[in-house]
């Protein structure tokens, strides 16, 4: 056999099985890029989430490389399988590890987008200080536009110009009797996460009847998953923790609290078999938390008034954040709308955000 043919054969045998090795090598470059990004002096403490993700990615990539190498020797006859199940077991494991690695790369990209501004002890990322480009859905967010008659009164709609970027990287949502502001977190939609830790910090300047303040909620869309939702909704001075499955909402927890002027941190932590929703006032230290499990949802589904088919959203369904400020059509829930004084608005400021794996 010629040297050229030997080289071609070696390439054909090893090419499909180099992904794990390439990932391991790439981690070195990623780690170096992160270190160079933070500069020489003074060096802030490393982001624990980035460090954890790098460690996990290195572990998965190393296992993937080992399994691909073993699979290669078996498929090309350089070794005999231990039993008849070894090859299909390895193939399934390689597929799973590739999926895990792809998600970890996505997570790493999200964490390394932009460092928080100096002095931000909360580790928040800031929104672009200039308006996003219309109809460009590859950005961090895009304003939601148009009416939603299923939940809004006639004549009310979301408008592009009701989401107003601020110079400090916060995002103002503004509402009057005719229009409100909302964003769909487009970048997170494309990452298709099935778990994660989502955080926003937000302030409302007044509680107004008929208005729903929704600083953070997770939503699933698509023909097989539409309508799964965990959300925070502040209505009439009451903070609600709600669950939806596309057939209407169910209130899991409700607490009366005047949050006017409070800088609030809202978190939704989605993990296998458990979702934690937490609201914390950074103004007075008040905190409220709800842990949601499949067992709890089964019990809630038996209560009077629970929508038909209420269930814990499948863990395989990807969900992404949405933020909204809107007028609702149900006065018995959100209060009877009162006209605002001329020249005034209802505002909600989202100061920043963070998404951790």
Q: Which strand (E) or helix (H) includes residue 242?
A: strand 238-245
Beta strands per DSSP E along 18-148: 142-143
189 and 315 within one domain = yes
* Residue ranges making up the domain that contains 45: 3-111
Q: How far apart are CA 234 and CA 279, in angstroms?
A: 11
286 and 168 within one domain = yes
Res 28: pLDDT: 47
Domain count, the chain: 2
Residue 134 placed within a domain: no
Residue 283, Cβ neighbours under 10 Å: how many?
Answer: 12
37 and 172 within one domain = no
Res 11: pLDDT: 45
Q: What is the pLDDT along the chain (357 residues), one digit of tens a residue?
A: 544 444 444 444 445 545 555 555 555 455 545 444 444 434 444 667 778 788 888 898 999 999 999 988 888 888 888 998 989 998 989 988 887 788 788 777 766 664 444 435 567 888 999 999 999 998 899 999 999 999 999 999 999 999 999 999 999 999 999 999 999 999 899 888 999 999 999 999 999 999 999 999 999 998 778 889 999 999 999 999 999 998 788 999 999 999 999 999 999 999 999 999 999 999 999 999 999 999 999 999 999 989 999 999 999 999 999 999 999 999 999 999 999 999 999 999 999 999 888
Burial class from Cβ neighbours inside 10 Å (0-12, 13-18, 19+) for residue 227 reads middle
Read off the CATH number of the domain in which 234 is found: 2.60.120.200
Residue 272 placed within a domain: yes
Residue 250 placed within a domain: yes
Residue 320 placed within a domain: yes
Q: How far apart are CA 105 and CA 60, in angstroms?
A: 11
309 and 230 within one domain = yes
Residue 120 placed within a domain: no
155 and 276 within one domain = yes
206 and 352 within one domain = yes
Q: How far apart are CA 71 and CA 233, in angstroms?
A: 51
Q: How far apart are CA 90 and CA 67, in angstroms?
A: 6
101 and 205 within one domain = no
Residue 136 placed within a domain: no
The answer to whether 50 touches 105, Cβ cutoff 8 Å, is: no
217 and 317 within one domain = yes
Query: Which residues in 181-214 are b (16+ Cβ under 10 Å) and which e?
Result: bbbbbbbbbebebebbebbbbbbbeebbebbbbb
Q: How far apart are CA 64 and CA 20, in angstroms?
A: 5
50 and 151 within one domain = no
């Amino acid at each position: 056999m010629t040297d050229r043919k030997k080289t071609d054969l070696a390439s054909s045998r090893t090419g499909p099985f180099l992904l794990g090795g390439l990932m391991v090598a790439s981690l070195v470059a990623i780690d170096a890029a992160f270190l160079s990004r933070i500069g020489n002096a003074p060096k802030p403490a490393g982001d624990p989430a980035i460090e954890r993700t790098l460690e996990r990615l290195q572990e998965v990539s190393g296992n993937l490389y080992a399994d691909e190498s073993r699979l290669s020797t078996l498929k090309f006859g350089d070794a005999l399988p231990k039993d008849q199940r070894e090859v299909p077991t390895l193939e399934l494991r390689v597929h799973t590890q590739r999926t895990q690695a792809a998600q970890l790369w996505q997570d790493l990209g999200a964490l390394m987008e932009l460092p928080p501004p100096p002095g931000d002890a909360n580790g928040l990322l800031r929104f672009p200080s200039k308006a996003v480009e219309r109809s460009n859905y590859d950005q961090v967010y895009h304003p939601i536009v148009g009416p939603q008659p299923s939940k809004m009164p006639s004549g009310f709609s979301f408008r592009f110009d009701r989401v107003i970027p601020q110079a400090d990287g916060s995002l103002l949502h503004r509402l009057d009797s005719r229009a409100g502001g909302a964003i769909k977190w487009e970048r997170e939609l494309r990452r298709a996460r099935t778990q994660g830790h989502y955080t926003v910090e937000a302030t409302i300047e007044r509680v107004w009847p008929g208005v729903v303040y929704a600083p953070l909620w997770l939503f699933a869309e698509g023909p097989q998953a539409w309508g799964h939702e965990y959300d925070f909704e502040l209505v009439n001075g009451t903070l609600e923790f709600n669950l939806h499955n596309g057939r209407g909402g169910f209130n899991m927890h409700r607490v009366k609290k005047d949050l006017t002027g409070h800088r609030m941190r809202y978190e939704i932590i989605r993990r296998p078999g458990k979702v934690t929703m937490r609201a914390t006032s950074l103004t007075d230290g008040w905190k409220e938390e709800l842990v949601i499990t499949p067992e709890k949802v089964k019990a809630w589904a038996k209560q009077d008034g629970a929508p038909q088919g209420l269930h814990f959203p499948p863990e395989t369904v990807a969900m992404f954040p949405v933020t909204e400020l809107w007028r609702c059509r149900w006065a018995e829930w959100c209060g009877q709308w009162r006209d605002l004084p001329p020249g005034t608005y209802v505002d909600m400021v989202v100061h920043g955000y963070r998404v951790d794996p």
